[in-house]
Structure 1
Amino acid sequence: MESNTSRIAVIYATAQGSTRDIAEFIATDLGSRGAEVELTDVEHAPDLSRFRAIVFGSAVHDMDFLPAATTFLHTHREALHNTDVWMFSVGLGPALRGPIGRRVGRIVPRKIAALVASVAPCDYRAFAGHYERAGISLKARTMYRLLGGGRYGDLRDWGAIRTWSSMIAQALGLPQPQSTTIAP
């Protein structure tokens, strides 16, 4: 039987690609530290029993994980309880600025909080994604600005993502990266 000592699954559900990009970054970082990493979207997730750890991420729409992510977490709850899991979400909340926006941005939506609690991961983080103005209604753009949003484009904080990935690596006892040029 093969050892899963340094096998990590990075599984994601994405709508427009931001979550996939973050998952790819994390997988590359963990792989550069000597781990054997399998990166896959949630629809093609591997047998979880083969892995020492799982990093799971989903885009946030309507204050909830994507339906495929929610289904996956419910279906695999028992397997997830038998391994180390780290979870992340990608949405607008972390990109909000100003006194109201920062406060609102730190709130974990109720449905997501319930899913996170049901899995009991080692850690959960929310990251900002890529947000384009095109195709967004005037009402949504106005709400975004009132909450301290206002910037559009790539709002991801790659430094925070790198720090979180390093925290996962440290928790798993992985060495420092063999290459220092992991670019988003």
Structure 2
Amino acid sequence: MAFVRILYASEHHSTQEIAERIGARLRTHGHRAEVQALDPAPGRQGLDQADALVMGSAVHDGAWLPEAEAAVRGGAEQLREQPVWMFSVGMSAALPKPLRLLADRAEQPPIAALVDVVRPQEHRRFSGVIRREHLDREGAVLFRLLGCRYGDHRDWAAVEAWADEIAGQLDELPAHGPAE
């Protein structure tokens, strides 16, 4: 049994709910999982207080939220010394099919840079929830012009399957750290 900390940055709760689902799924596999929002204060993320980490952030303007980026950059050394999985929550499923295919193939440079800093076991991308009230006026106009769809685009089966994969990899880790 591993102690896993799931840290997230979420603006509209979509990423938070994905983090909570990952935590719940890891618990069904017998792991101890603690889910918490990333603390924007330096040194307050608890990066070194777990056997493994799962870190995720909402993606706005092609980048992780500032508190998530700060946690990665500020804790890079610690993050490279332990098993880490990363996930990003964007809106690719809200895009019309041709744009969605493009978005699914492209990695945003700011996110790719964070992945390079950490070198996680894996980085996954999920779609989240997009509602009209999440966008300013210009964003809403562009959203409509592109033919995008509002709604909850989370693929819970994919989230749970990924959590199951993480659980399997955790089972193979040597027991260490504050697992109790």
TM-score (norm 2): 0.85
Aligned to 1:112: 111
Q: Secondary structure at the match of 2:171?
A: coil
Q: Secondary structure at the match of 2:85?
A: strand
Aligned to 1:6: 2
TM-score (norm 1): 0.83
- Give me the whole-angstrom Cα distance separating, in 2, the residues matched to 1:130 and 1:14: 11
- 2:39/2:45 contact within 8 Å kept: no
Q: What amino acid does structure 2 have at the position aligned with 1:161?
A: V
Tell me the CA shift for residue 88 of structure 1.
Answer: 0.4
Task: Give the alignment partner of residue 165 of structure 1, picking from 156, 163, 166.
Answer: 163
- Give me the whole-angstrom Cα distance separating, in 2, the residues matched to 1:40 and 1:136: 25
Unaligned runs of 5+ in 1: 175-184
Tell me the CA shift for residue 66 of structure 1.
Answer: 0.5
Paired residues for 1:11-26 under 5 Å: 11-26=7-22
Residues 1:168 and 1:135: Cα distance change in structure 2 (over 3 Å): closer
Tell me the CA shift for residue 46 of structure 1.
Answer: 4.9
Residues 1:141 and 1:83: Cα distance change in structure 2 (over 3 Å): same
Tell me the CA shift for residue 171 of structure 1.
Answer: 1.2
Paired residues for 1:99-138 under 5 Å: 99-134=98-133, 136-137=135-136
- 1:56/1:86 contact within 8 Å kept: yes
What is the percentage of aligned positions where both structures have the same residue?
37
Tell me the CA shift for residue 36 of structure 1.
Answer: 1.0
- 1:93/1:106 contact within 8 Å kept: no
Structure 1 runs (4+) deviating above 6 angstroms are none
Q: Secondary structure at the match of 2:161?
A: helix
Tell me the CA shift for residue 158 of structure 1.
Answer: 0.6
- Give me the whole-angstrom Cα distance separating, in 2, the residues matched to 1:95 and 1:123: 24
- 1:101/1:148 contact within 8 Å kept: no
Aligned to 1:38: 34
Q: What amino acid does structure 2 have at the position aligned with 1:43?
A: D
Tell me how many residue pairs correspond in the alignment.
169
Q: Secondary structure at the match of 1:171?
A: helix
Unaligned runs of 5+ in 2: 173-180
Aligned to 1:72: 71
Residues 1:14 and 1:167: Cα distance change in structure 2 (over 3 Å): same
Q: Secondary structure at the match of 1:125?
A: strand
Deviation by residue 1:36-95 (Cα, 9 ceiling, x = unmatched): 111111118553333111000001111110000011101111110110000001111244
- 1:96/1:105 contact within 8 Å kept: no
- Give me the whole-angstrom Cα distance separating, in 2, the residues matched to 1:137 and 1:8: 36
Tell me the CA shift for residue 116 of structure 1.
Answer: 0.8
Paired residues for 1:91-102 under 5 Å: 91-102=90-101
